Structure 1
Amino acid sequence: MTLIAVLVFFGLALLGTPLAFALGLGSVAGLMAGDIPMTVLPQRMMHAVNSFPLMAIPLFMLAGELMVKAGIMQRLVEFSNAVVGRLHGGVAHMGIVAGMMLAAVSGAAVASASALGSALVPAMRRNYDDGFSSAVIASAANLGAIIPPSNAMIVYALMAGSSVSVGGLFMAGVVPGMLLTIGFVVLSSFISWRRGYPLTGRPFSFRHLLRETWRALPVLMMPVVVIGGIVGGVFTPTEGAAIAVIYAMLVGFFLTGKLRLSDLPSSLFRAAVGSAMVAALIAFAAGLTFLMTVDMVPAAAADFLQGLTASPMMFLVLVMILLIVVGMFIESNAAYIMLVPILAPIAVAYGIDPLLFGLLFVLNLVAGMMTPPVGVVLFVMCGITKVSMASMIRNIWPFVAVQYVVLLMCLLVPGLVTWLPRILGY
């Protein structure tokens, strides 16, 4: 019955059917094939989304929406310009640095892509071609799913159960996120030099940097307060997300003065729609996960892989290859929901650090968000910039390669992932 459910899901997904609906029909088909009462499906759906940690996702999304409405993008852009100075690819560097800082606010790649694309692409187009400008902003936006707080890590931790904590995953993403940022900056400099793009950006001035740092300080303090509180055990990730919403409202109403009461309904609506998509995937996938459990799929998969190889490193390599393929064709949230309950327990059985496996899993699927044919960040950027998908794909491959290089570094040097969480007691 699990096989029937999976075949129905993949068949509908490949036909372009929305993933949540495909998961639901796949689950129904599996239940019917197994002669299981249909009442199981709504019970499993309700149980899956009735989760306190899951509430962090809509709250972090709302905080990101409010911070954008509060006018933080302009302050982040000006601060990034002051940090970068005048260089080959200076405006591209500014966009990447702004993306890194926005990632610590939004927690989602799609939200970052919308904010960065609207604010920075017009300025970049004055200096670079459209394809390169869009690829840079897409790469910067993708940092939103790696640098904490990350909604992807929350979903992974929820699906993995008690083997890994959200706070631990957040800290595991800090060093890889910084490596990605540095890699994107170096690549942008090289491409700008090779293509003969002009020097861009404002000449560096220490006085100007101090002034812009002071102006951006309230925004920069938000991730310090929220992530610091979660890591320090002062509050849970869900409570931290609620504090982020309050912080965003205080900044918007009393500091920048750009947030209005009339902005709240639209912000709430967009956050609700975004989080509802994730919740629908989790709810409908619960039926499919139930069928896999009943049919002993995780145990069978564990026996198969352990019979195939006894090496934890070879297991990791096989999983990474699988996820590269999966990331090209399946939306990342659906992949977390379907694969984490199967693969995370097997990784524990191999003796692999749960934080390492979780970060590698997330980083791989995050790279898939920029990989055609189902790269959601690519579609968002094409919609914002009106750049053709062909032009976007030609320019995005070097940035995708950087993400896989960082993935390989984390695979070969696990300390890049586990060092910071271990220092903090995870």
Structure 2
Amino acid sequence: MSAALFTVFAVAMVLGVPVAIVMGGASLAAILWDGRYPGLILAQRMFSGIDSFPLMAVPFFVLAAELMTGGRITDSLLALARQIIGRLRGGLGHANILMSVFFSGISGSALADAAGPGAVTIQMMRSGGYKPEYAAALTASSAIISSIIPPSIVMVIYALTDNAVSVSALFIAGIVPGALIGLSLVATNAYLSWRRGFALDEPRKPWLQFFRESGVVLSAIPLPVIIIGGIHSGAFTPTEASAVAAVYAFVVAKFVLRSLAWRQLPYLFARASLMTSAVLMIVATASAFAWLLTVLQLPQTIAGFIAGFGLPNMLLLLVMAIFLLLCGLFIDTLPGVLLFTPIVAPIADMAGIHPIQTALVVILSLTIGMITPPVGGVLFVVSVVSRIPLMRIVATIGPFLLAELLVLLLLVFVPAASLWLPGLFGYVR
């Protein structure tokens, strides 16, 4: 069974078959080759993988992001980001990063960030005199903040895979690492802007004038606070919070900013449905694939092998991060979380590493893979929306990738970076 499973998986990945079909096809081939189980069990395992109430958060968060983009709320958030930090050297780049932080608190999806606000910020930076490939590389690097800052769809999926952590705990824990990634990108952009002599942005408006002209942009800012506060206070569950986010986004876009037309809704709902379908298909086939790995006792075998080395906790976590970074070169974040969490989480748990720290290291390690070739989903999206060849972006992204790797090392060697804020809210005991 294992030979059929991994052979079909490897060949299909090399041929560039979509990852959901790869995992589903490899699982079916292994089941039919083995003969112990009927082929129908694949459908049963796929259905059970998505038969989960918390997974309903995915379509609502995706819809909230689409409503924000369709209602041009992202343009307003960009204006606010530019007003706050745009005056500094490299200010348009800083505004790009801050915009990603704002939008991350709404969308929960790096791909949505890259495809929506990313296209706007790239064009803005190009008009400001930045090289197109630099603007695209910075946009791709800042887009992955959406997988770390709540509400993160990847965190929802991780919590479903590892029962040792909750969605609310991961949402709280992601705030500090997300902020660290943003600050590291700002510092890198500031240094590169100084070295390359990028011009200063135009002088910002007086704050009173800015608020008179576009004060309604602040109506979008409370959404992340409502989500986190509502979940932590018990007012609603993470799944219900996603519905609140979608409704709030609609109300702000339609009745506050008045930038959303009724005729746009069918298109926005269709886009959200397509993205949700893609996510759930990956979850379904990855669930079947993970079940076969359990049948083959692969997680237990790998866990026992690594545990036999007796590595110190930090070194063990570093080895896991390197392993996941290498895996992230060839597999997207979402299936990576579903496939590798059952392997690495028990190892870390046996070593006494807190599950929240493990979760953030796993998520960030795999998320960084979204901006590394050959299977960098965010890179491909940015390349398409900016019409810049992929290799030009890859050749420019190195400094930003290094900054994010340094944050990953910080999460590995400084547990407080992951656990301090959750500890204040009572999630670390």
TM-score bin (small chain): over 0.9
Pairing 1:226-305 to 2, within 5 Å after superposition: 226-305=227-306
1:59 positional shift: 0.8
C-alpha separation in 2, matches of 1:85 and 1:205: 13
Is the CA contact (8 Å cut-off) linking 1:107 and 1:144 kept in structure 2? yes
1:183 positional shift: 1.0
Describe the SS at the equivalent of 2:115: helix
Question: In terms of mean alpha carbon deviation, does 209-218 or 2-11 score higher?
Answer: 209-218
The match for 1:407 is: 408
Describe the SS at the equivalent of 2:260: coil
C-alpha separation in 2, matches of 1:251 and 1:215: 9
User: What percent of counterpart residues are identical?
Assistant: 37
Is the CA contact (8 Å cut-off) linking 2:216 and 2:256 kept in structure 1? no
Residue type at the aligned position of 2:192: I
Deviations 1:252-290 (A, max 9, x none): 111011112221111111111111111111111222222
Is the CA contact (8 Å cut-off) linking 1:81 and 1:202 kept in structure 2? no
Whether 2:208 is the aligned partner of 1:207: answer yes
C-alpha separation in 1, matches of 2:214 and 2:357: 34
Describe the SS at the equivalent of 2:17: coil
Gaps in structure 2 of 5+ consecutive residues: none
Deviations 1:287-307 (A, max 9, x none): 222222222222212211111
Whether 2:325 is the aligned partner of 1:324: answer yes
1:206 positional shift: 4.4
Is the CA contact (8 Å cut-off) linking 1:85 and 1:204 kept in structure 2? no
1:211 positional shift: 5.2
Pairing 1:5-404 to 2, within 5 Å after superposition: 5-35=5-35, 36-126=37-127, 127-160=129-162, 162-203=163-204, 205-208=206-209, 214-404=215-405
Question: In terms of mean alpha carbon deviation, does 61-70 or 262-271 score higher?
Answer: 262-271
Residue type at the aligned position of 1:120: T
C-alpha separation in 2, matches of 1:4 and 1:351: 35
C-alpha separation in 1, matches of 2:352 and 2:391: 43
Is the CA contact (8 Å cut-off) linking 1:116 and 1:137 kept in structure 2? no
C-alpha separation in 2, matches of 1:239 and 1:202: 42
C-alpha separation in 1, matches of 2:6 and 2:243: 37
C-alpha separation in 1, matches of 2:289 and 2:202: 51
1:337 positional shift: 1.5
Deviations 1:111-152 (A, max 9, x none): 011112322222211221111111121122221111110011
1:200 positional shift: 1.2
Is the CA contact (8 Å cut-off) linking 1:83 and 1:209 kept in structure 2? no
1:310 positional shift: 4.2
Residue type at the aligned position of 1:335: G
Deviations 1:14-59 (A, max 9, x none): 1111111111111011112321211211111111100011111111
TM-score normalised by L of structure 2: 0.96
1:212 positional shift: 7.3
Describe the SS at the equivalent of 1:8: helix
Q: Residues 91, 208 of structure 1: CA spacing in aligned structure 2 closer, same or farther, 3 A cutoff?
A: farther
Residue type at the aligned position of 2:317: L
Question: In terms of mean alpha carbon deviation, does 67-76 or 202-211 score higher?
Answer: 202-211
Number of aligned residue pairs? 425
Q: Residues 204, 190 of structure 1: CA spacing in aligned structure 2 closer, same or farther, 3 A cutoff?
A: farther
1:333 positional shift: 1.3
Deviations 1:193-248 (A, max 9, x none): 11111111433744356657843221001111112111222211110000111101
Is the CA contact (8 Å cut-off) linking 1:54 and 1:155 kept in structure 2? yes
Is the CA contact (8 Å cut-off) linking 2:4 and 2:29 kept in structure 1? yes
Question: In terms of mean alpha carbon deviation, does 193-202 or 323-332 score higher?
Answer: 193-202
1:327 positional shift: 0.8
Residue type at the aligned position of 1:270: R
1:312 positional shift: 2.3
1:380 positional shift: 0.6
C-alpha separation in 2, matches of 1:93 and 1:212: 22
C-alpha separation in 2, matches of 1:229 and 1:3: 48
Is the CA contact (8 Å cut-off) linking 1:86 and 1:204 kept in structure 2? no
Is the CA contact (8 Å cut-off) linking 2:330 and 2:375 kept in structure 1? yes
Is the CA contact (8 Å cut-off) linking 1:110 and 1:377 kept in structure 2? yes
Describe the SS at the equivalent of 2:397: helix
Is the CA contact (8 Å cut-off) linking 1:230 and 1:237 kept in structure 2? yes
C-alpha separation in 2, matches of 1:142 and 1:299: 31
Residue type at the aligned position of 2:148: I
Is the CA contact (8 Å cut-off) linking 1:84 and 1:201 kept in structure 2? no
Gaps in structure 1 of 5+ consecutive residues: none
